[in-house]
């Protein structure tokens, strides 16, 4: 999670969210939000990290991987998580407005899907949440 926090700090004008993908105990991909920096609407940290990991592995399936992200995935990212099929998702801060790995909805465990991704939230939660609080406080100032 500390590596994901380091990535989040690189988000610039975007919401500070960072993600890493771990495979066989090493980070194979990392990303931060790039939506406001020309990346477009899909340039969420999780989406970028999973795409980069798929390129490294040469497959769309992230079997054997763990996604680590500083904020609970939104509906789009939770859907991508189900489709990419990593072994696990670990996140820091919960998102009570858009979180879809247990807060608002639990898409990775929806019985409608044949694959389910275990999700663990609250890892370094306070540090992850504080980075977000500071960002939004500065935006409102």
Known catalytic residues are 46
**Rounded CA gap, 4 and 82, in Å?**
20
Residue 119's DSSP bridge partners are 89
- Helix residue ranges per DSSP H, 24-74: 45-57
* Residue 81: alpha-carbon gap to chain centroid: 9
Q: For residue 37, what are the β-bridge partners? A: none
What is the dihedral angle through the alpha carbons of 126, 131, 136, 137, rounded to the nearest 10 degrees?
80
Within 13 Å of residue 101, how many CA atoms lie on the same side as its CB?
A: 31
Phi first, then psi: give them for residue 138, nearest 5 degrees: -65, -40
């Amino acid at each position: 999670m500390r590596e994901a926090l380091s990535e989040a700090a690189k988000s610039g004008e975007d919401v500070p969210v960072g993600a890493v993908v771990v495979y066989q105990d090493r980070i194979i991909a990392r990303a931060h939000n790039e939506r406001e920096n020309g990346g477009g609407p899909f340039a969420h940290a999780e989406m970028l990290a999973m795409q980069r990991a798929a390129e490294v592995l040469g497959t769309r399936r992230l079997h054997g991987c763990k996604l680590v992200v500083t904020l609970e995935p939104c509906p789009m990212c939770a859907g991508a998580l189900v489709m990419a099929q990593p072994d696990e998702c670990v996140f820091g801060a919960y998102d009570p407005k858009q979180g879809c790995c247990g807060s608002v909805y639990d898409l990775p465990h929806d019985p409608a899907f044949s694959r389910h991704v275990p999700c663990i939230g609250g890892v370094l939660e306070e540090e992850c949440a504080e980075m977000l609080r500071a960002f939004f406080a500065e935006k409102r100032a």
